[in-house]
């Protein structure tokens, strides 16, 4: 089994302040998925511009001040849940159009976090879908949180990847994003950034020096989720989905430029 994460930066226009799909990428990538020869596959996708602007505006996951604030956050929750569900519908449909038997799985309907980390999720149905040959498509969402001071949390696609990998023990975990992998510093900011081919500890990239990883960027969170999988002997790869052919090659087990998270 393979878990493939499609970053929000790849399938949406992440810088847009309103939900905007990157149709060109989505079309190409879902075709590559259909053309690859994988066996069992779970697709996890990020929220990009469908989730982040709303979740931020309504400060989902921040401490609740009073009843009025709770009601506001609940409105934000409802709006965000709707937006990311719409994105999920589009991703699932694109996959299906190209011949993948996709099935949508909504995190907010069965996952509970505590302090923003997944506390419970019943995977029975996901396992059954996989056995039958479906491709479950799950995504970054807003979910209920057991901590009463926040009640709601933003659950990233990256955390879902880690949870599913822990529970389902896939052979491979592939994260597709909009850069080649993990660099010694943010490649979008620093043209001289160097790609790191193998990452095995946070120290390697988080020394606190200015020249090292920008943890405020999207990469820091990703890396710590993936490093957590090393305890279970699960390695993972970060690759660039903006490069044509990479997803297909990676799914087929061919070598692709990127970063491997391994010991």
The footprint of ligand ADP (CB under 6 A) covers 7-10, 14, 46, 177-179, 182-183, 185-188, 213-214, 217-219
Instruction: For ligand ADP, give the closer residue by CB, 178 or 237.
Output: 178
Q: Which is nearer to ligand ADP, 145 or 180 (CB)?
A: 180
Question: Least distance to ligand ADP from the beta carbon of 52, Å?
Answer: 9
Minimum CB separation of residue 125 from ligand ADP in Å reads 25
Residue 148 vs 210, nearer CB to ligand ADP = 210
Which one, 9 or 246, has the nearer CB to ligand ADP? 9
Task: Give min distance, CB of 248 to ligand ADP, in A.
Answer: 18
Number of other residues whose CB lies within 10 A of the CB of residue 151: 17
In the complex with ligand ADP, which residue's Cβ is closer, 72 or 116? 116
Instruction: Find the shortest distance in angstroms from Cβ 218 to ligand ADP.
Output: 2
- 247 CB-side CA count, 13 A: 28
* Helix residue spans in the chain (DSSP H): 8-11, 23-35, 52-57, 67-97, 124-132, 157-168, 219-228, 246-251
Q: Are 5 and 45 in contact (CB under 8 A)?
A: yes
3-state helix, strand, coil in the chain (%, to 5): 40, 20, 40
Q: How far is CA 225 from CA 113, 164, 206, in A?
A: 15, 12, 14
| Enclosing H/E stretch for 261 | strand 258-261
Please report how close the Cβ of residue 122 comes to ligand ADP at its closest, in angstroms.
26
């Amino acid at each position: 089994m393979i878990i493939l994460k499609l970053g929000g930066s790849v399938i949406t226009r992440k810088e847009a302040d309103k939900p905007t799909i990157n149709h060109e990428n989505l079309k190409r990538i879902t075709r590559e998925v259909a053309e690859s020869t994988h066996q069992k596959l779970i697709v996890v996708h990020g929220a990009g511009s469908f989730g982040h602007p709303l979740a931020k505006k309504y400060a989902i996951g921040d401490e609740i001040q009073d009843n009025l604030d709770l009601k506001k956050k609940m409105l934000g929750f409802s709006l965000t849940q709707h937006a990311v569900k719409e994105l999920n519908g589009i991703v699932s449909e694109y996959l299906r159009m190209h011949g993948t038997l996709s099935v949508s799985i909504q995190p907010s309907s069965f996952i509970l976090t505590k302090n923003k980390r997944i506390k419970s999720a019943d995977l029975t149905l996901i396992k059954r879908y996989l056995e039958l040959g479906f491709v479950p498509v799950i995504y970054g969402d807003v979910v209920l949180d057991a901590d009463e001071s926040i009640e709601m949390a933003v659950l990233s696609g990256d955390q879902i990847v880690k949870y599913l990998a822990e529970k389902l023990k896939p052979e491979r975990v592939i994260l597709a994003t909009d850069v080649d992998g993990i660099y010694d510093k943010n490649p979008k900011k620093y043209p001289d950034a160097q790609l790191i081919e193998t990452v095995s500890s946070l120290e390697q990239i988080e020394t606190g020096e200015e020249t090292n990883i920008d943890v405020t960027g999207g990469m820091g969170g990703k890396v710590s989720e993936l490093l957590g999988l090393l305890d279970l002997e699960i390695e993972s790869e970060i690759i660039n989905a903006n490069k044509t052919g990479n997803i297909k090659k990676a799914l087929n087990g061919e070598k692709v430029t990127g970063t491997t998270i391994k010991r």
